Amino acid sequence: ASEIIAQHKHILIENIETIHDETVLFHIFNEVRANKEASLLMSASAHPNHLGIRLADLRSRLISTQLAELELPDEEMLRTLFAKHFSDRQLKIAPEVIEFLATRCDRSFNEVAKMVEKLDELALTHKRNITIPFIKEIADKLGLE
C-alpha cells in the first residue's frame, strides 16, 4: 500500500464492494490518512453499512468517511445531459428530440452518453438526421420502449 501512495498521491477506487482482499483496501485507507498530501476517492453501490464488509476496522473507517450519495438523474437533468452530449459532438438537435429521448431512456448518466454515441453512429451510417421518426425506426437498436 505504501508503494501505491508513493507513486500515486491521488487514488480512485471504484466499486469497493467488489474488492476481494479487504486488507489491501484497509492498508491503502490508512496510508492515505497518514499522508497529508494524498487523497482517496472511493465509489460503491450502497452505503458502507450495506456492503457486507467483513473486516470490522475497515467497515468502521469507511463509515467514518465523508459520504456523498448520487441520485439517478431526473428528466430535467436528462434533458441537460442529452443537450451537453449532443453539443460535445457538435450536433444540433431539436428540443423536441431531446424531450422525446429524456422521457424514454433509462435514468442513467452512462446510458445518456452511450445513447448519444449510438445515435451519432447510426445517423452517420444511415446518412440521416437525428429526428423523432429516425429514432422510432431504430428504437430497438437503442433499447428504447
Would you place residue 7 in the very low, low, confident or very high pLDDT band (cuts 50, 70, 90)? Answer: confident
pTM summary value: 0.62
Would you place residue 1 in the very low, low, confident or very high pLDDT band (cuts 50, 70, 90)? Answer: low
Alpha carbon 35 to chain centroid distance? 28
pLDDT per residue over 20-59, tens digit each? 999 999 999 999 988 888 899 999 989 999 999 999 999 9
**CB-based contacts of 70, cutoff 8 Å, min separation 6:** none
- Would you give the end-to-end CA distance of the chain in angstroms? 47
pLDDT per residue over 65-108, tens digit each? 999 988 889 999 999 999 999 999 999 999 999 999 999 988 88
Reduce the DSSP state of residue 13 to 3 states and report it: strand
Report the C-alpha gap between 23 and 74 in whole angstroms. 38
